Amino acid sequence: MKPLLEISLSGFASQIDAWLNAALGGGTLVVATEMVVTGVVLLGFLVVLCFFLGYMERKVAGFIEIRLGPNRVGPKGSLQIVADTVKLLMKEGITPASSDKFLFHLAPVIVVTAALLAVAPIAFAKNLQIWDLNIGLLYVSAVSSLAVIGILMAGWSSYNKYSLLGAMRSGAQIVSYELSVGLSLISIVALTGSLKISDIVMAQQDGWWIFKGHIPVLISFVIFLIASTAEINRAPFDLTEAEQELTGGYHTEYSGMKFAMFLLAEYINLFVVSAIAATIFLGGWMPFHLGHWQAFNGIMDWIPSSMWFMGKTLFVVFIIMQFRWTFPRLRIDQLLNLEWKYLLPISMVNTILVALITIMGWHF
């Protein structure tokens, strides 16, 4: 017996597709309508999710610093992020007189678009995936790299030295740490033999890779968390917007809705990074199974797959949020040394070990 929620999730998309085909007569119009509906639903879900992540981050900060966090607006401060959003929407959007107007307005759109595109291959639950293409991990790596174009564009077009310095730092940082992120993903691709997200999840039905891949996969997981945190410009790797040095970094000159778009992209990227980590290392929506323990595995199967996925994703989100309130910000030379002198060599050796484990069949 499948959980009721899983049955409803798996059948809902099929019902919508059947209804649209009956109403519109099939063909290109149905496909276009489904794309629009999917985009609107996804955007609405991500906006609500970003509200939750913003509230969660403030509460996690309060917990680590032994204080309450938001506690005035709404029950236990739950509406504080809504109040902040309303404030941003009501603020006047100011464009610097000397800026490149077109690129200045285009930059936040590119950053948000790149973040939204990266969500497409993620499997939110069993049979609940927007686009299960056969190069899923490569696609996510490719489209997420487009964000650096928007960041460089924002820094250059603002006609502000602090914005330009922040954008240059971001470009160097993202390009550098992408290498370690890519090598961490390659280790799972080698073990699975596929870039397809659904294949990677199904390969973990008898055990998550972080458990059955031995120590090299655990090393890949740790490197992925560190490098991906740097790639999305979060503390302690937030050199691109270091307030003490660069005022606000590449979005110093942005205000109102355009500034809110950068914040939205930051939280979407946080979710994407955590979802990918949960999918390739922690089994994604796959329940936790123990060998041939049928009774235990049956109980685990009763928990909806969407809850497994969100639980694992929020666990990784919590770890990344802890980084921000635990470690001091690195200097730019320390940041680059960490990647080129430590993470990258370790990743290369670790990739060789994973290849050896795969060839010899030593994984569980």
Gap between the Cα atoms of 83 and 106, Å rounded = 26
**pTM, to two decimals:** 0.91
Q: Read off the pLDDT of residues 140-189 as tens digits, 9 standing for 90 and up.
A: 999 988 889 999 999 999 988 888 888 888 888 988 999 999 999 999 99
Residue 345 CB coordination number (10 Å): 12
The single-letter code of the amino acid at 261 is M
pLDDT score, position 10? 56
pLDDT score, position 3? 52
pLDDT score, position 1? 46
% of residues, the chain, pLDDT over 70: 95
Q: Read off the pLDDT of residues 71-82 as tens digits, 9 standing for 90 and up.
A: 999 898 999 999
pLDDT score, position 180? 94
pLDDT score, position 309? 95
Phi, psi at 124, each rounded to 5°: -75, -25
Burial class from Cβ neighbours inside 10 Å (0-12, 13-18, 19+) for residue 205 reads exposed
Burial class from Cβ neighbours inside 10 Å (0-12, 13-18, 19+) for residue 25 reads exposed
Q: Helix 80-90 and helix 28-64: axis angle, to 10°?
A: 120
Asked if pLDDT for residue 194 goes beyond 80, the answer is: yes
CA atoms within 13 A on the CB side of 141: 21
Mean pLDDT for the stretch of residues 64-70: 90
Asked if pLDDT for residue 339 goes beyond 80, the answer is: yes
Gap between the Cα atoms of 254 and 158, Å rounded = 8
pLDDT score, position 363? 65
Cβ atoms of residues 111 and 155 within 8 Å: no
Judged by DSSP in three states, 128 sits in: strand
Pairing assessment for the beta strands 128-129 and 123-125 based on DSSP bridges: antiparallel
Mean pLDDT for the stretch of residues 120-140: 90
Residue 257 CB coordination number (10 Å): 14
Average pLDDT, the chain: 87
Looking at per-residue pLDDT, the higher value among 239 and 134 belongs to 134
Asked if pLDDT for residue 273 goes beyond 90, the answer is: yes
Run of H or E including 129? strand 128-129
Mean pLDDT check: name the lowest of 22-36, 123-137, 287-301. Answer: 22-36
